[in-house]
Structure 1
Amino acid sequence: MTTLDPAIAGRLKRNPDGLVPAVVQQHDTGEVLMLGWMDDEALARTLTTGRATYWSRSRQEYWLKGETSGHVQWVKEVRLDCDGDTILVKVDQVGAACHTGDRTCFDADLLSGADRPGPDARG
């Protein structure tokens, strides 16, 4: 078990399950890759190893990104937002970030944007 620095742990605002959302972004392009969840242990592992580690809510276990797929996230920077309730992890993504094989978890379902008409055009 890795211990999170108490100064960092004291700033985190966790949900009732003890988790904080982690927005993951490609460090050099700003592309948003995915959203993961971290508890103190996952964040401590991420900070000490330089590889992104998350808590899998579905499997109820730690998930070292790329351990089975080879799609590793090399951590370049970790930030905490102004409220302490969201972590930003800037990474160098190797391969796909999404479990579906897409580059990002936001590639498949455009709800609104340049390629889709706005509310006025839809009536």
Structure 2
Amino acid sequence: MEDREQGTAFLPKFDANGLLTAVVCDASSREVLMVAHMNAEALDKTRETGLAHFWSRSRGKLWLKGETSGHILTVREIRVDCDQDALVVLAETQNPACHTGARSCFYRKLDGEGLARITN
């Protein structure tokens, strides 16, 4: 445990489904762009290619972000939390990160009992 929390070895702690949570942020602004999940294969592919790969829980398969939309995320740095069960992926994109066409998947906020689009 001390090695995982205090040491320098990368010892990812995948959950019972073999996944890590990955929060993707813009490398320059640090704006949160999206949240996805990585299994060991997605993490390996991301590290190998420098392009963000994830595990799609809904489709049950590996996917390269932007493989159909062209909205590729180029990884600049991967940060690892203290117990190595979550990642922050700092990435560059020239396109929207969200499949809806929004720059970020977090384009709405709670507003009373509903949602309101964020305008700034």
Structure 2: gaps of 5 or more residues: 1-8, 112-120
Matches within 5 A, 1:34-113: 34-107=34-107, 109-111=108-110
Deviating beyond 2 angstroms after TM superposition, the runs of 4 or more aligned structure 1 residues are: none
TM (normalized to structure 2)?
0.82
**Highest Rg: 1 or 2?**
1
1:78 aligned partner, one-letter code: I
- Identical-residue share of aligned pairs (%): 49
Structure 1: gaps of 5 or more residues: 1-6, 113-123
1:59, 1:99 → 2: CA distance? 15
1:94, 1:57 → 2: CA distance? 26
1:34, 1:95 → 2: CA distance? 13
Per-residue CA distance 1:58-113 (angstroms, 9 max, x = gap): 00111101111010100100111111110111000121111111110100x2126x
Per-residue CA distance 1:22-45 (angstroms, 9 max, x = gap): 000000001000001001110010
TM (normalized to structure 1)?
0.80
RMSD between superposed Cα atoms in Å: 1.4
